[in-house]
Amino acid sequence: MSNKWCDRYDELKDFVLKNPKVEIGQKHVAIPKEYKPEFLRRFYVTISAFVEEEFPELLERAKPLCQSYRRAEEEIKKNPALSEVKLPPDVRWFIDDPVDGLQRELYDDLYDLLRDKFSIEEFASRGCRLIPIRNNQLAALSYQYWLVISLANLLKPERFYTIDLDVGGSSQAIVSALGPEEAPLREPQETETILLHHHPFDTDIFIIPNIMTYSTRINRWVGLKAEPTQATWTAKDASENVEWIDIEDEPLMPELVLVSTGDKLEDIALVRDNKRIARPELALICREADDWYETRKDWHLLQFTQDIINPKLGLHIASRPEVPEEVLESIPYLPLFSTLDCLGFLYTYDPGRNLVEVEPEG
């Protein structure tokens, strides 16, 4: 076991022992405000040291991913129509600082260690089990959101729109949101914010794009949606210009991004309701982990997803790691995304695994 983070923990514990007004009880924590800054500094130094020392490979691998996302976000925020991109808080912490994003998983455990609920060896063992799991979750989400923002940048967006899905905070409204109901979809409104996550109840009512925009690149409306989960309500007024597919509660491949286009804004406003899903122009399955192709337990969903939604330009896997040739040969239906011609232009990964436009040959 590394010594540095253990030394930091000893200093934290010593601070608590020397200041009896700082109480870390079995069922309560009481830290007077004059002691709180120094306590928290030592607390965070301890847990940061643990993450940095035990997981240097994870942190090193996270750097280019987080940098790529930040570059994509900086690029889209240059658009005068946009002021903010909202991520889930845990993803934002991870992208801004992977150490900060990961260390939060162990806050409660460090308090429990101070309470002597388990030994320092047990704390380390728990941390070595929990942090890689949390890293995989946050890295996968970061990669998926990076792809969505990068695609939006390539489309040269002009304006952004969203739909208000708020049903109110009353208990009656919440119950209504959880049950089946047929209702009209509200009209899209112009927005200065890209919302890459919604309130859980909002997301369940209707599934709408994370990004609705007019693309000056292809002169069409485009909707981008990550994780089109199941909705609870049925839309009364779904666009008649869309090809709707009966789906109800069938599961789709995880980490899925759908791209839809239309001549009118209302044609791309609804991705999915309780009974159907809009046939997308393109579907991309995001795979960030180095060994994603070694575990094939959910690969049956790949063909199933393709058969169900049948994207006009196909379903493709956007893989962060290079996939060995023998894997591609062993699974002939694996639609790996390397260079893809869609939406009227070519794009691919550069050697740094960034999404870039490719000039057409000739």
Chunked into runs of 10 residues, the chain (362 residues) has average pLDDT values of: 85 94 88 94 97 96 92 94 95 97 96 94 96 96 92 92 76 55 90 80 77 93 93 90 89 91 96 94 89 77 87 84 78 59 46 44 34
- Boundary-marking domain end, from 99, 124, 147: 147
- Boundary-marking domain end, from 147, 181, 202: 147
Q: 137 and 24: one domain? A: yes
Number of domains composing the chain: 2
Q: 76 and 194: one domain? A: no
Q: 72 and 143: one domain? A: yes
Q: 190 and 317: one domain? A: yes
User: What is the structure's pLDDT at 117?
Assistant: 93
Q: 250 and 266: one domain? A: yes
- H-helix or E-strand containing 190? strand 189-190
Q: 143 and 162: one domain? A: no
Helical ranges in the chain per DSSP H: 4-18, 36-54, 56-76, 89-96, 98-103, 107-114, 120-154, 171-178, 200-205, 300-309, 325-330
Cα 52 to its chain centre, rounded Å, is 23
User: What is the structure's pLDDT at 178?
Assistant: 60
**pTM of the model as a whole:** 0.89
Report d(CA 358, CA 362) in Å as an integer.
Answer: 12
Q: 21 and 88: one domain? A: yes
Q: 105 and 246: one domain? A: no
Name which of 314, 304, 351, 353 is nearest 335 in CA terms: 314
Q: 30 and 89: one domain? A: yes
Report d(CA 287, CA 271) in Å as an integer.
Answer: 22
Write out the residue range of the structural domain in which residue 250 sits: 155-358
Q: 138 and 161: one domain? A: no
pLDDT in tens, 180-199: 688 889 999 999 999 997 55
Are the C-beta atoms of residues 293 and 322 closer than 8 Å to each other? no
Q: Which residues pair with 283 in a beta bridge?
A: 258, 315
pLDDT in tens, 100-142: 999 999 999 999 999 999 999 999 999 999 999 999 999 999 9
Is beta strand 256-262 parallel, antiparallel or unpaired with respect to 282-287?
Answer: antiparallel
- Boundary-marking domain end, from 147, 166, 197: 147
Q: 82 and 202: one domain? A: no
Q: 203 and 335: one domain? A: yes
